Amino acid sequence: MSLEMTQRPCLGVLLAAGEGTRMKSSLPKPLHEVAGRAMLAHALAALVEAGCGRIAVVVGPGAGGEALAKTALALFSAAEIFVQHERRGTAHAVLAARAALAKADDDVIVHYADTPLLTAATLARLRAGLGGGVAVSALGFEAADPTGYGRFIERDGRLVAIREHKDASAEERAIRRCNAGTVALAGAHALALLDEIGDDNAAHEFYLTDAVEVASRRGLAAVAHIAAEVEVMGVNDRVQLAAAEAAMQRILRERAMRAGATLIAPETVFLSYDTELGRDVIVEPHVVFGRGVSVGDGVVIHAFSHLEGARVASGAAIGPYARLRPGAEIEGRARIGNFVEIKAARIEAGAKVNHLSYIGDARVGAGANIGAGTITCNYDGFAKHRTDIGVGAFIGSNTALVAPVKVGDGAIVGAGSVVTRDVDADALAVARGQQAEKPGWAKAFRDTHKKR
């Protein structure tokens, strides 16, 4: 972003009032997620990163609009919320934020909450097109199939009109440079341009695209900026949502690999928008990263593991078939093995939880070994309780640790124990019924059943 742009204030107007009926969902369309993040959040973050110091969010009436407003304010507390009570087109939606537009911002970017892949860099380039007599900077793309899109009508390097498909002539429909929807307006002219837009079209709606022709009539210029078609992808239904997810995953996977991680079968690995992978990380096939995962250098994530809200330090190994839930902290050189679940627990350096275990609300001390089938019984039906396992402790297989309980440093718990009291450091604890044996009982039992 140029120094001049950083010195100019900018208003971002985020349109989120569409009904989204094709999603067939009780959830407002912009709250559907792509790579673990609501589409509205992707769009809002791009506006902020592009330099918009103020954000106006236009929502529809009712509970859906309230949900969108709540989400927007949680993401950007200074956002101004405006309600479009009647849905009469995109220009009408922008004018719902008239109070925000009336303030003296030099630039205005109008963006859509269902366009999750559009980057801040592209928005910044679009905004950079303003100035020097240019009042409208419109974003477009070269369409593989332009059917249904507004066409860019250009002359002598300038954009003179954007014609909606239903209003376009046969000659204009042959144009492949199409409107992506997002537009930047010079703040000094924005309200005047919007107020002059009429509804003399096939749909009798107020189209934001008509700002181009209005600017031309006023002797002001408009320019087109072209982005990749995939970046300007909008989402109207579940099929397009899946396409946006696939496109975002390709971007995230490539970014991770270029930063030094190895994805053995990239197409089988699913990342969140905020996944952090260190250098020399190896991710085997069929691994899913939910939100809030940070992985240090040299970690191996074995196949079929699922991580969410977890931190994995350098040199650790996870899986296969492991699940790290929110609050899991895996320190350096620790080992989390197959069919192990960790939740809200710290596994300290060099500790091992290798087989078929659940460790929740706990600390496992450095170098400790947790035997197969061990569980921390952390919930009593009303509250969660913590288990503390000391440094170098050894927990035998098939042990139940009934929290709250503490196992001291270097202690050993015998296999099959149910531990309900604290275990001192370096002690042996065995808590299980004594074995009883009845000679010949099994043979007599079988003989009895054979006679029946």
Active-site residue numbers? 355
- Residues 236, 238, 242: CA angle, nearest 5 degrees: 105
Phi-psi category of residue 4: left, alpha or beta, with phi > 0 → left and psi -120 to 50 → alpha: alpha
- Residues 41, 46, 50: CA angle, nearest 5 degrees: 150
| Neighbour-count burial for 336-372, b at 16+ CB within 10 Å, e otherwise | bbbbbbbbbbbbbbbbbbbebbbbbbbbbbbbbbbbb
**In the structure encoding, which two tokens stand for residue 275, read together?**
């996944």
Phi-psi category of residue 267: left, alpha or beta, with phi > 0 → left and psi -120 to 50 → alpha: alpha
244 contacts 263 by C-beta, under 8 angstroms: no
409 contacts 427 by C-beta, under 8 angstroms: no
Please tell me whether residue 312 adopts helix, strand or coil conformation: strand
Residues 6+ positions from 434 with CB-CB distance below 8 Å: none
Beta strands in 306-382 (DSSP E): 306-307, 311-312, 317-318, 323-324, 329-330, 335-338, 341-347, 352-355, 358-364, 369-370, 375-377
